[in-house]
Amino acid sequence: MKLTLKVWRQNGPNDKGNLETHQVEASEHMSFLEMMDVLNENLISEKKTPVAFEHDCREGICGTCNMVINGRPHGPQKGTTVCQLHMRAFKDGDTIVVEPWRASAFPVIKDLVVDRSPFDRIIQAGGYISVNTGQAQDANAIPIEKDLASQAFDAATCIGCGACVAACPNGSAMLFTSAKVAHLNMLPQGEVESSKRVLNMVNQMDEEGFGMCSNVGACEAECPKEISITNIALMNREYLTASLASNTTT
Amino acid sequence: MSWFSKFLGSSIGRKLLMSLTGLFLISFLPVHLAGNLQLLAGDGGEAFNTYAEFMTTNPLIKFISYGLYFFILLHTFLGVRIWLRNRSAKGSKYAVSSTGTSSFSSRNMAWLGIIIFAFLVLHLYQFWLKMKMGVLEKVNVAGLDEPVNNLYAPVEAAFTDPIYVIIYVIAMIVIGFHLWHGFQSSFQTLGLNHKKYTPVIKGLGAIYSIVVPLGFIVIPIVFYLRHAM
Ligand code: HEM
Ligand code: SF4
Ligand code: FES
């Protein structure tokens, strides 16, 4: 299939950047990243600089393959990362516009690569359990209701890709932060530090300059792991009770 | 910084104030509508003027109305600040943007709000200010010894002016759109998302945001048609 690609090129955070047009021959069995590899091989053979983009696992678990494809973070297919998106989702002759995540807290490093270290700092602020858990537990040593375990697991599937921030017109990181808070605060091991966790993580999220949640819901629609905004309500609840009712002041 | 100001200044704290002030305004609109519907009584304004007199002299209502002015201003001030901060948090725009994954209302809350605010300024100038300044003529109503302000007169004048009727109808539609998203959003902001109740809240929000603005719209239309015929 013949495609026209319009790819965002930007040399650094302070460069203005622009869309660059290229023609690519791809097969519909290729993943989107493989198609990008073809583009880069062409560029290299023309002695041009290849397009910088992040990728690692190529199986939908690392959360690095971040691109906005025709205006949609991770492209048109629901619940799918770019590496798992195949070219059969497009038609011969299509023009595809590829842009980086856009949010002030995620400055472009180069081309399609953005700096997502704000997410690392949000995790450092409370996305962990500080008790010594010792050896791996016997599976049923701590009884947890199945529904609760499933909910916590669903929240835990967040891969920290940042598509939620990219999709949000406010550049808000509430879906990501709430997935991490929900995952840990719902389980008995995490519950011990729940107040401190939610206060610190929300505080860090605000400090990083993310926007506020207007409950628009674009995050949930674009999230490759289909994290639900019910997690945001849960985080709001946890934050309100931790702020107003707990003894924790941080 | 005290824990409390830190809480109110946080993103979730600010949204909490937005939600609570919004819900207060939501609870006010049906009361306002019930009062206004008396305009349709067809008694030359007697019922409406009696009601207006009560609303401006009863101490409890007066107290609540100061709260109302304050909450409108707070909701507007915070809304604009949140909007500006969110715009700078987004920074640049996409060359191609997709809008299919969210509602028109949710993406345009601030614009809808600014239009509502502009209408409120006009609305208060036209009716409320005249009432407060005591420039209205006095009329006698049954059951009261003293003559009362004839608020019905400027309302009738406005509602028979096609320009004002159009402005009024548009403003009510804008409020409808604001609440189409705002009603259910305020519950989500409070953390009230529940498998059993959220569908009910969403349903009520949809009904409210159509029925209440429609109720307001009916009044000037009836006045205008009565006048034109
Ligand atoms: C009849 C008057 C109004 C009512 C009943 C009303 C109601 C609401 C409600 C219920 C919300 C949802 C709050 C939440 O998501 O937690 C909201 C949000 C909002 N309102 Fe209003 N509002 C009114 C007037 C205004 C005005 C005059 C402005 C002026 C700018 C405004 C600006 C906003 C903005 C920007 C939001 C979105 C906040 C966000 O989610 O980020 N509203 N409103
Ligand atoms: S919530 Fe979804 S979109 Fe956001 S970082 Fe996690 S996996 Fe990515
Ligand atoms: S490359 Fe790891 S999720 Fe796509």
pLDDT along chain A (250 residues), means of 10: 97 94 96 98 97 97 97 97 97 97 97 98 96 78 91 97 98 98 94 95 98 97 97 98 86
pLDDT of B62 over the 70 cut: yes
Within an 8 Å CB–CB cutoff, is residue A240 touching chain B?
Answer: yes
- In chain B, which residues have their Cβ closer than 8 Å to the Cβ of A250? 3
> Is the CB of residue B179 less than 8 Å from the CB of residue B204?
no
Other CB atoms within 10 Å distance of the CB of residue A242: 23
Give the integer Cα–Cα distance in Å for A13 and B85: 21
The beta-carbon contacts of B167-170 under 8 Å, at least 24 apart in sequence, are B167/B119, B167/B122, B168/B119, B168/B216, B168/B217, B168/B220, B169/B217, B169/B220, B169/B221
Give contacts of A 179-218 with B, CB under 8 A: 202-203, 205-206, 209-218
Residue located via tokens 């934050």: A239
> What does the pLDDT look like over A122-132, one tens digit per residue?
999 999 999 77
pLDDT of B72 over the 90 cut: yes
Residue B181 beta carbon below 6 angstroms from any ligand 1 atom: no
Other CB atoms within 10 Å distance of the CB of residue A65: 25
Question: What are the residues whose beta carbons fall under 8 Å from the beta carbon of B124, sequence distance 6 or more?
Answer: none
Closest CA to A213 of B170, B179, B89, B200: B89
Give, as one character, the DSSP assignment of residue B93. P
Q: Return the pLDDT at B141.
A: 86
Domain with CATH 3.10.20.30 in chain A: 2-109
Give contacts of A 142-181 with B, CB under 8 A: 167-172, 174
| A65 Cα: distance to centroid of ligand 3 (angstroms) | 5
> Within 13 Å and on the Cβ side, how many CA atoms surround B33?
16
What average pLDDT score do residues B111-118 get?
A: 98
Tell which one of A215, A236, A239 to mutate to probe ligand 1, the residue whose CB is within 8 A of the most ligand atoms.
A215
Per-chain mean pLDDT for chain B: 94
> Is the CB of residue A170 less than 8 Å from the CB of residue A216?
yes
- In chain A, which residues have their Cβ closer than 8 Å to the Cβ of B103? 216-217
Q: Dmax over Cα atoms in chain A, in whole Å?
A: 64
Percent of chain B predicted with pLDDT > 70: 100
Q: What is the pTM of this model?
A: 0.94
Give B117-171 as a DSSP string: HHHHHHHIIIIIHHHHHT-SPEE--TT-SS-EE-THHHHHHHHTSHHHHHHHHHH
Superfamily for the A2-109 domain: Beta-grasp domain (3.10.20.30)
Domain with CATH 1.10.1060.10 in chain A: 117-249
Which atom of ligand 2 has the smallest separation from the CA of A226?
2
CB-based contact B7 A70, cutoff 8 Å: no
Other CB atoms within 10 Å distance of the CB of residue B226: 13
Q: Return the pLDDT at A218.
A: 97
pLDDT of B30 over the 80 cut: yes
Give the integer Cα–Cα distance in Å for B205 and A225: 29
Q: Which residue has the higher pLDDT, A33 or B129?
A: A33
Q: For chain B, how far is it from start to end, CA to CA, in angstroms? A: 64
Domains along the sequence of chain B with CATH: 2-87+105-228 (1.20.1300.10)
Give the integer Cα–Cα distance in Å for A40 and A201: 38
Residue B21 beta carbon below 6 angstroms from any ligand 1 atom: no
Give the integer Cα–Cα distance in Å for B159 and B168: 9
Cα A59 → chain centroid: 15
What average pLDDT score do residues B87-104 get?
A: 93
Interface test mutation site (partner B, options A202, A212, A232, max chain B beta carbons within 10 A): A212
Give the integer Cα–Cα distance in Å for A34 and A18: 23
Give contacts of B 163-222 with A, CB under 8 A: 181, 184-185, 188-193
When CB atoms are compared, the residue of B10, B98, B181 closest to A202 is B10
CATH for the A117-249 domain, from 1.20.120.160, 1.10.357.10, 3.40.640.10, 1.10.1060.10: 1.10.1060.10
| A162 Cα: distance to centroid of ligand 2 (angstroms) | 5
Give contacts of A 71-110 with B, CB under 8 A: 71-72, 97, 99, 102-105
Instruction: Give me the helices (H) in chain A, please.
Output: 32-45, 117-124, 146-156, 163-167, 174-185, 188-191, 194-207, 218-222, 230-244
Q: Return the pLDDT at B1.
A: 64
Within an 8 Å CB–CB cutoff, is residue B1 touching chain A?
Answer: no
The CA angle A155-A157-A159, to the nearest 5 degrees, is 115
Which atom of ligand 2 has the smallest separation from the CA of A167?
3
Give the integer Cα–Cα distance in Å for B156 and B29: 21
> Within 13 Å and on the Cβ side, how many CA atoms surround A172?
26
In what helix (H) or strand (E) does residue B174 lie, and over which residues does it extend? Answer: helix B162-189
CB-based contact B96 A99, cutoff 8 Å: yes
Give contacts of B 27-86 with A, CB under 8 A: 82, 85-86
pLDDT band at B145 (very low <50, low <70, confident <90, very high): confident
Closest residue by Cα to atom 27, ligand 1, is B117
Give the integer Cα–Cα distance in Å for B68 and B61: 10
- In chain B, which residues have their Cβ closer than 8 Å to the Cβ of A235? 12, 191
Helix (H, G, I), strand (E, B) or coil at B58: coil
Give A57-113 as a DSSP string: -SSSSS-----EETTEET-SSTT--GGG-BGGGS-TT-EEEEE----TTS-EEETTE
Q: Return the pLDDT at B146.
A: 86
Closest CA to B19 of A241, A236, A164: A236
Nearest ligand, CA A159: 2
When CB atoms are compared, the residue of B12, B90, B189 closest to A103 is B90
pLDDT band at B117 (very low <50, low <70, confident <90, very high): very high
CB-based contact B106 A217, cutoff 8 Å: yes
Q: Return the pLDDT at A73.
A: 98
Query: For residue B96, what are its two tokens?
Result: 């191609």
Q: Return the pLDDT at B140.
A: 87
